[in-house]
Amino acid sequence: MDDNRQAFCEALASAVSSRTGPQPFRYVEIGVAKGGTLAAMCEAMDAYPDLHWTAMGLDIPAKDRTGYFREKATKQTVGAWLSGIYPDLESIKPLERRGWAAIVLRPSFEVLPTLEPPLDFLFIDGCHGYNCVRRDFELAEPLLRVGSVVAFHDTNPRAQGWHQQAHCQTGIEVRRFLMDVGLLDNSRPGFVKTHETGERARMGGAVVVQKIHG
C-alpha cells in the first residue's frame, strides 16, 4: 500500500466529495491477504470526521490451494475496525461505530452479484489472471455510481506474465485486460484513468479509474 497510498487517498477524496444521499460510504476489497491495504483504507476513511463508512474484504481461506488470506495477520493489522471474519454476508454483525470493516470468506464472483448499489470504491487485488480480473470488473460495474472509483493492483508492465496465479494457472495479466477494455487509454466510455503508480518498479503498481458518467 505504501507506494499507492497517495493515489488511493486522492481517489478516495474524489469519491467522497462526489457522493450523494445518506447511505454509508462503501469500500470493497477483493483479495485481503494480510490486511495491509484494508487497514490503510479504514484509516483513510476514518480521517473524514463526518463520514459514515463500511469496508468489506473478500477472500478465500488459506487452506484453499488458491487462497492467500492470513487470518491472524489480518486481525492484528485491521484491529479495532474489524467486526469479524464471516462465512457469508448474512452472518455479518455491524459494529456500533461510525465506520467498521468485515471480511467475508467467499469468492468475489459469488458475493458481488448479491450486493446492492452503490459501491463507492472497489479495489481489485484477487486472482490476477485475465479472466478473473475481467469477471470481477464486469460483476462490479453495475454497482458503480458516477464518481465511484475502481483500483487495480499489479499493473506494472514488468510484472505482466510473471508469478503464476494459482487459480487461473496463468501469469499476471491485469494490464492486458485494462488495455483491451480501454481503461488504460481512456477510450472506454464513462471512465477516466486518474492515477497510475509503480511504472518503474519490478512488481506491484496500481491503476485507478473513476466513473465520470453513466
Q: List domains and CATH numbers for the chain.
A: 2-16+23-211 (3.40.50.150)
The Cα–Cα gap between 126 and 107 comes to 9
The Cα–Cα gap between 47 and 96 comes to 17
89, burial (CB in 10 Å: exposed 0-12, middle 13-18, buried 19+): middle
The Cα–Cα gap between 95 and 24 comes to 13
Those residues of the chain that have pLDDT short of 70 are 1-2, 63-67, 165-166, 200-203
Q: What is the pLDDT of residue 79?
A: 96
Q: Do 176 and 150 form a contact (C-beta atoms < 8 A)?
A: no
C-alpha dihedral (13, 19, 25, 29), degrees to nearest 10: -60
Q: What is the pLDDT of residue 204?
A: 84
Nearest to 86 by CA among 142, 32, 128, 11: 32
Q: Do 181 and 189 form a contact (C-beta atoms < 8 A)?
A: no
C-alpha cell at 184: 488504460
Widest Cα–Cα separation across the chain: 44
